[in-house]
Structures are given as C-alpha cells and as structure tokens.
Amino acid sequence: MIYIIAPNIKSGGGLELLLYLIEYIKTNHPKLKCIVYADDSLQMIQSSKNIEVSHMKSSLEKIKLFSKKIDNALYFGNLPPLVKSKNSLVYFHNLYLLMAFQKLIRTSAKFFVKYFLQQLYIRFFIKNVDIVACQNDDIKKQFIKKFNFRNVWLLPFFRFCNKKLLEKSEKIYDFCYVSLAYPHKNHQRLLEACEILSDEKVHFSLALTIEEGHDNLIEKIKLINKQGNIKISNLGKISKEEVCKLYAQSRCLVFPSTKESFGLALVEAVNMNLDVIASDLEYVYESIEPSLVFNPQSSLDMSMKLKEYLKSDVKRSQVKIENKIDELIRILIKDGGDVQK
C-alpha cells in the first residue's frame, strides 16, 4: 500500500501530473493499493478498484493529515510532514519556494507571507522525509543549496498525448503557447513580439490559453488582432484533452517562460511532432533539443526568431529526458530506510 498526500494541489502542471500518476497506478499497477488525499475541489479524482480517494474539506483536516505518521507516502505538494515517516518522499515542483528573500520581499504582502512561511516550514521539517524528488538538475542544485538537504533525486514524469489525433486534425495555427498567465510565463513579451511583427506586416496565427482575470493581456490581444496581420486566438483555460487537440492543430510551440521546474509542455509538444522555439535557458536544454531559441528578456529577439521560423526550414526538436514514473512508484513500494542516491 502507498499513500499520495496531495491536498495542496488544485490546478496547473501539478494537477496534470497528479491525475496522470493516479491513472497510471490504476491502469499499470492494479494490484497496488493506493490511498489518495486530495483537495475537495478535485471531485474529478474518484475512488476505483485499487484507488481510495479522501477529499479534504478544511485546513484543519489538512493539518491533522500532515501530523500523522504515514509510511510509504508521496507528499506531492512540495511540503513535508510534521512528523518523521518511513520511506517517505516529497515531490518538489514550485519555483516560488526557491525564491531568494531579497526578491520575495519585493513582492506583494500576501505573496511574501505565503511563500516565506512555506520556505521556513520546509527548512524546519524537510528531514522528516527520506527523499526529495524534482524534475531537473537546476532545481535539484537550488534545493540542495537553499535547504541544505542533499538526498535529492531526479524523477521527472509526464504523460504524452495520443498521436492518433494527428491523423484527423489539420494545422490551423502556426504557433501555440499552452500556459496559464503567471508572471514568469512571460506572455507580455510574447505579445510585444507579436506587435513588432504586426507592424512589419508579418502574417501568422497564434493560439494562447490565458485564463480569466488578465484584462491587460486580453486587451493587448484585441489591439493586435485589430491590425489584421496576426490572428491571436485565446482559448482560455482548457482541459488536457483540448490541449492535446491544440497540439495536433499547431505547427510550432513557442515557449517564452523565464523559469520552470520542468516545462511539461515542451516534451508534450515534441512528442506530437511540433517544432519548439523556446527561451535560451537551462531548463529547456535539459528536457528537449529545441528548433530555435531566443532571449526571453528581449521582445525583439523573440520576434526575430518567430519570423525566422516562418521564413526558413529549421531542425526538428527532440525529447532528451526519460520518463521515470515507474522508478518513482518502485521507491514508494520498497523498504526505503537506507535508500541513497
């Protein structure tokens, strides 16, 4: 029996990975009993033959859960338990928890309090787990340095889309960018690059997935579309199935994010035969071999690479990273008292 402790996961890439992990255990390890603790908002996660789901409705329930000794547990929301448990693992994937104090203090009061307190919590209680798992080597190095915890493993995992979608989909977008509009996702500079190309009368189509509440970005999209040279379609927040369909309808993924714990969209897109134009940053090269790269701090450089892609042939992107979901599960079902790596 294993436990997945994930009451802090509610949306984004963390939710996608959680759903994949549960489905993978259900399908590929039917004899493995798995108890999942999830936030009450995630009603799409339901019990099945070998999966038992407990939805947590209150903060008090979650605190009590983290106060229990639970062996063979995967703490999937970045935070360790309050007590030491045997063969336990934290899966770490939140970049804000690595942010330096000097940068953190310059953010909003609410943001500062939330992440400063969580950083303190990790520092005090991280030794209650045997292993910390993360998705790339840069995050591993940062985590070791910040929290002085050395048993950090690289255990990236990801779900590919069904490539049969490619057989029944036509390409209607030159570019797509699958991401919610967090500040580090860099939508502002991408739209500035589009403005530059629109002024140059370059024509192309771009699909975005910006959620509600980002009126400044939505307004900029309207202004660019009004010029008539570039067509930007904002699809809003979409499901995994819709994401896969979007990949099948697109020629190239543009990925201007300034920092990532992994960059899930990169490997998903390459697997769906898309080219990738991405930020010239280490997290990109750890996951894939991109077709082109740009300086993510320069809208002009971004615009030049988009134009280069439209006007010339580029090398095909390749996936470089290995899916280690089975290794992650093996760790949880073995006696890990003296596990080292």
What are 67-102's pLDDT values in tens digits?
999 999 999 989 999 999 899 999 998 888 999 989
Are 2-157+323-333 and 163-319 equal in CATH topology?
A: yes
Q: Is 21 helix (H, G, I), strand (E, B) or coil?
A: helix
pLDDT of residue 278: 97
pLDDT of residue 32: 94
Q: Report the alpha-carbon distance of residue 78 to residue 126 in Å, rounded.
A: 10
Distance from the Cα of residue 213 to its chain's centroid: 20
pLDDT of residue 312: 85
pLDDT of residue 12: 78
Burial 31-61 (b: 16+ CB within 10 A, else e): eeebbbbbbeebeebeeeeebebebbeeeee
Q: What is the CATH number of domain 163-319?
A: 3.40.50.2000
pLDDT of residue 341: 36
Rounded to the nearest integer, the mean pLDDT of the chain is 93
Task: Decide the pairing of beta strands 173-177 and 250-255.
Answer: parallel
Q: Report the alpha-carbon distance of residue 155 to residue 137 in Å, rounded.
A: 10
The list of the chain residues with pLDDT below 50 reads 335-341
CATH superfamily of 2-157+323-333: Glycogen Phosphorylase B; (3.40.50.2000)
pLDDT of residue 337: 36
pLDDT of residue 339: 34
Domain residues of the chain, as ranges?
2-157+323-333, 163-319
pLDDT of residue 313: 86
pLDDT digits (tens, 9 = 90+) for 218-236: 999 999 999 999 999 999 9
**Closest by CA position to 274, among listed 243, 237, 232:** 243
pLDDT digits (tens, 9 = 90+) for 122-168: 999 999 999 999 998 989 999 999 999 999 999 999 989 999 999 98
